[in-house]
């Protein structure tokens, strides 16, 4: 793969990651863009909350659960943004360690939590899609290593 193609792939993965975060982030009175979120994944895509025992969702289960929380009023707003990343691409596969900050209210000065999303991508034709997203929040006994905090890599 030449550098130009890899650069284009890097840009597409960057855009896909930004879309991923924007789909799950919403202000009070708004809705997350769950249809778009679903479209970013392959049909068999998975999301895994690996805080404690793994909670494993298909993309459909995750969208249904998040939609239910919003419609029931138990989740009124949420914001998650990438603060650092490391992306590696080989052929038609890619992996991104995406360090995030999450807040219930996007205007809160301090994040509710920070952590790392491990995102796997696959290229189908000319398009990149998310295959799997696994997240783990930082904890007192589990600090995020410096190499995942600084984007100057």
What's the CATH number where 37 sits?
Answer: 3.10.450.50
In the chain, % of residues over pLDDT 70: 95
Whether pLDDT at 153 is above 60 = no
With 90 as the cut, is the pLDDT of residue 43 above it?
Answer: yes
Average pLDDT for 33-38? 98
98 located within any domain: yes
Containing structural domain, residue 19: 3-148
**Does residue 96 form part of some domain?**
yes
In this predicted structure, the answer to whether residue 152 has a pLDDT above a threshold of 90 is no
In this predicted structure, the answer to whether residue 108 has a pLDDT above a threshold of 60 is: yes
Number of domains in the chain: 1
Strand-pairing partners, residue 134, are 48, 118
Q: Given this model, what pLDDT does residue 35 score? A: 98
Q: Decide if 114 contacts 99 (C-beta within 8 A).
A: yes
Average pLDDT over residues 78-92: 96
Rounded average pLDDT over 103-113 = 94
User: Is residue 153 domain-resident?
Assistant: no
Over the stretch 89-106, which tens digit does the pLDDT of each residue have? 999 999 999 999 999 998
pTM of the model: 0.92
Q: Write down the pLDDT at residue 7.
A: 87
Distance of alpha carbon 74 from alpha carbon 97, whole angstroms:
29
Q: What angle do CA 148, 152, 153 make, to 5 degrees?
A: 70
Q: What pLDDT score does 88 carry?
A: 96
Q: Could you tell me if residue 29 is inside a domain?
A: yes
2 has a pLDDT exceeding 50: no
* Nearest residue to 115 via CA among 102, 105, 103: 102
């Amino acid at each position: 793969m030449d550098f130009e193609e890899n650069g284009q792939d890097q840009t597409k993965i960057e855009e896909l990651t930004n879309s991923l975060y924007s789909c799950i982030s919403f202000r009070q009175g708004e809705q997350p863009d769950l249809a778009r979120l679903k479209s970013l994944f392959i049909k068999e895509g998975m999301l895994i909350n690996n805080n404690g025992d793994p909670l494993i969702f298909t993309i459909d289960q995750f969208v249904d659960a998040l939609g239910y929380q919003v419609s029931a009023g138990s989740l009124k707003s949420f914001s998650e943004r990438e603060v650092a990343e490391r992306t590696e691409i080989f052929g038609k596969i890619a992996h991104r360690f995406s360090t995030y900050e999450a807040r219930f209210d996007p205007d809160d000065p301090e994040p509710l939590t920070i952590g790392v999303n491990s995102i796997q991508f696959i290229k189908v034709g000319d398009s990149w899609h998310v295959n799997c997203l696994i997240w783990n929040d930082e904890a007192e006994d589990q600090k995020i290593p410096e190499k995942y905090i600084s984007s100057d890599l």
